[in-house]
Copies of this chain bind each other. A is one copy, B any other.
């Protein structure tokens, strides 16, 4: 899909600046979870599982609404040098917290909680291998896992046949400015060199759910921000197609 874009500049891995890395989505990877997907953005590989349970946390009971939440984590040797386990350290780091919250918010943005009813979906995104863009791959794969968990629940009649909790689809992609050039879907070696780094979460209809841009080096101006947003919307459009392709399998 992405290969039809023409891109003037070529990157280390041969991509043009507007190209995504190879995207693969192995839907239903887990035989245990209600929904699951093993997603790859190049060498970044994230296992996303969706666990559907009846009932909601105590503080939400009796409102006729459901709940969607997410937890993100990285295996200790997902990265180039081993990092200590958060379970061994006894506490969760700020980065882990931040990404878990981002994934949860992104998914909730496309779910109608009334239609979900008093049910809970917990999405686990475990990074098996990390090469940049783990949070964006996680969101993109989590959506696929969630769709299957909702279908499972509909078959089990935990959700009414006519209820449609899904309002839209959602995916995410990173963009950044390297040596002054805006680029799509940064690999790890690109990410560490980026002056500005932005993660953008976009719905299937092309609306923004989250825009998180950070100047790692020099601050950025309005024109740069606009260029990055343009790139992100293009990438998100491609990702939405990959999601649809994966979800149409087996139908």
- Chain A interface (Cβ < 8 Å from any Cβ of B): 30-33, 36, 43, 47, 49, 51, 53, 71, 73, 75-82, 85-88, 90-98, 100-101, 105, 109, 122, 124, 126, 128-130, 168, 198, 203, 205, 207-215, 218-222, 225, 229
Known: A88-B71, A92-B87, A98-B98. A124 touches B207 (CB 8 A): no
User: Within the complex, what minimum Cβ distance (angstroms) separates A71 from chain B?
Assistant: 6
A94: min CB distance to chain B, Å: 3
CA distance A126 to B109 in the complex (A): 31
Give Cα A108 to B26, complex, Å: 36
Q: Are B126 and A30 in contact (CB under 8 A)?
A: no
Chain B minimum-CB-distance residue to A196: B208
Nearest 6 interchain pairs by C-beta: A94-B97, A207-B219, A86-B87, A49-B77, A87-B87, A51-B82
Q: Given A51-B82, A129-B30, are A208 and B221 also a contact pair (CB < 8 Å)?
A: yes
A229 to chain B, nearest CB (A): 7
Q: Tell whether A208 pairs with B220 under 8 Å between CB atoms, given A86-B87, A87-B87.
A: yes
Q: Is the CB of A30 within 8 A of B225?
A: no
* Contact across chains for B203 and A225 when beta carbons are under 8 A apart: no
Whether the pair B215, A213 counts as a contact (CB closer than 8 A) is no
A98 to B93 alpha-carbon distance, docked (Å): 10
- Give the distance in Å from the alpha carbon of A86 to the alpha carbon of B82 in the complex: 19
18 other A-B residue contacts (CB within 8 Å) besides A208-B220, A212-B213: A30-B128, A30-B129, A32-B77, A32-B130, A71-B85, A73-B87, A75-B126, A82-B122, A85-B87, A90-B90, A91-B92, A109-B219, A198-B211, A207-B219, A207-B221, A209-B219, A210-B214, A211-B225
A59 to chain B, nearest CB (A): 13
Option from B49, B85, B101, B229 in Cβ contact (under 8 Å) with A73: B85
- Complex Cα gap A214–B77 (Å): 29
C-alpha spacing A101/B212, complex, angstroms: 13
Tell me the bound Cα distance from A1 to B73 in angstroms: 38
